[in-house]
Amino acid sequence: MTTLNSMSTASTTAPSNLASSTIDMQSLVAPVAHEMQLVEEWLTTNLIDDSPFVGELLNQIFQAGGKRIRPLVTLLASKASLADPAEDKTHSEMSRLHIILAVLTELIHSASLVHDDVIDASSTRRGKETVNKRFNDKLAVLLGDLLFAQASICLARIMNPVVVGIYGQVLGDLCSGEISQMRQQFSTVVDWDGYYQKSIKKTASLIAAGSHSGAILNARPDAVVAGLKEYGVKLGLCFQIVDDVLDVAGTAKETGKPVGSDLRNGLITAPALHVIEAGGAPALALTNLIKERKVLTDEGLAEAVAIIQTAGGVDAALALAQRIGQEAKDSLAVVGDSDSKTALISLVDYVLIRNS
């Protein structure tokens, strides 16, 4: 059985069926290293007020070791969109607007996580105490709102109504994805379409907004914009499936969250869906543990996690993520070769083998 643990013992080395070389974040960032540095400076700039208390909270959030995948995708895709596959020329330069786009994408992501931790009653994120645990739910809701407010200021500065519409839709998608997830809690019905739709809304929509909005700002043709959007949707789905795998096959030390958090919250994700779909004794045992709410106890949760691992749920979910990852790479055919395009391709492998 391939567990994420066994994959992640070589966390910097891609499995042979993915890529032959080592993937380190630095090489992925290289084509946009300067821009990513500017994003970091922007993130802790408090655009709303100059309260030291809020400033300290923002620092806590942005220095907690996030991977910055969303701003990276935004900047790499913006830059990649400038290379034309048919002509040997670039169309315009990266501008300050692309930096703001990357910043706002990370701000929305961070805001949604602060709110998500309230919804999930989580006490740790990225190995650190969540805002809701350290203070309380009310403060966490307000801090999340403040981050959304900062994102809307960024959006206004971009001054592009199409991009405003895209991010407005994303905010709605994040909420409606969470609502769908809530409504599917503890359901053992195998509903792959429901799982994909929920994952696209709560995770892929924001990554896709970042991956194609830069091309819109660069006034690139519809086909380029559509291909980059497709890349973001597929990468986002891949990211969510790996996240779901990590929940049952990662370690709390790696993920910064207790093992089995999703199951304990009644979230039946790809690894469990595969086991239930396959049927037989493992499916029956897992279904009972979920339906009878035994996953709410430490023993029941450990049993459910063990069933998912031994019955092949992790392997099947990883294989699914790899197929979708390949589709993400294929969708980049709309842009010409460039360092940024190469990094976007490697980023898919990075997401597939990540262990945190």
Residue closest to 73 by CA, chosen among 341, 325, 344: 344
Nearer to Mg ion, 75 or 259 (CB): 259
Contact set for ligand FPP, span 157-196 (CB under 6 A): 171, 174-175, 178
The 3-state DSSP class for residue 126 equals: coil
Minimum CB distance to Mg ion smaller for 183 or for 323: 183
Say which entry of ligand FPP, Mg ion, none residue 174 contacts (CB below 5 to 8 A, set by partner kind): ligand FPP
Q: Which residues, 98 to 127, sit near Mg ion by CB under 5 A?
A: 116, 120
Which residue is associated with the tokens 């643990």?
A: 5
Q: How far apart are CA 342 and CA 53, in angstroms?
A: 41
Min dist. Cβ of residue 105 to ligand FPP (A) = 13
Residue closer to ligand FPP, measured from CB, 121 or 284: 121
Cβ-based nearer residue to Mg ion, 255 or 340:
255
Min dist CB 14 to Mg ion, Å, is: 27
- DSSP strand E in the chain: where? 124-125, 128-129
Residue 58's closest CA among 155, 118, 127, 142? 142
Residue with tokens 């009878």: 292
CA 91 to CA 328: how far, in whole Å? 24
Residues within window 38-57 making contact with ligand FPP, judged by CB under 6 A: none
Residue 173 touching Mg ion (CB under 5 A)? no
- In the block, tokens 């370690």 appear at 251
Smaller CB distance to ligand FPP: residue 81 or 112?
112
Binding mask 121-160 toward ligand FPP (x if CB under 6 A, else -) reads ---------------------------x------------
Rounded to whole angstroms, the Cα distance separating 300 from 145 reads: 36
d(CA 5, CA 308): 14
203 lies in the binding site for ligand FPP (CB under 6 A): yes
305 binds, among ligand FPP, Mg ion, none (CB under 5 to 8 A by kind): none
- Residues 237-276 close enough to bind ligand FPP by CB under 6 A: 243, 257
DSSP category for residue 13: B
- The rounded distance, in Å, linking the Cα atoms of 2 and 280 is 21
Cα(118)–Cα(125) distance, integer angstroms: 11
Rg (CA), the chain: 20
User: What's the burial of 147, exposed, middle or buried (CB within 10 Å: 0-12/13-18/19+)?
Assistant: buried
Which residue among 35, 116, 230, 349 contacts ligand FPP (CB under 6 A)? 116
Task: Considering the complex, state which of residue 106 and residue 120 has its C-beta at the smaller distance from Mg ion.
Answer: 120
Distance CA 168, CA 166 (A): 5
Count residues near ligand FPP (CB under 6 A). Answer: 15
Cα–Cα distance measured from residue 99 to residue 35, given in angstroms and rounded to the nearest whole number: 6
Among 120, 230, 254, 349, binds ligand FPP (CB under 6 A): 120
Stretches 66-74, 90-98, 107-115, 153-161: which one binds ligand FPP (CB under 6 A)? 107-115
The correct pick among 79, 98, 115, 229 for binding ligand FPP (CB under 6 A) is 115
Residues at the site binding Mg ion, with contacts judged by CB under 5 A: 116, 120
Residues at the site binding ligand FPP, with contacts judged by CB under 6 A: 112-113, 115-116, 119-120, 148, 171, 174-175, 178, 202-203, 243, 257
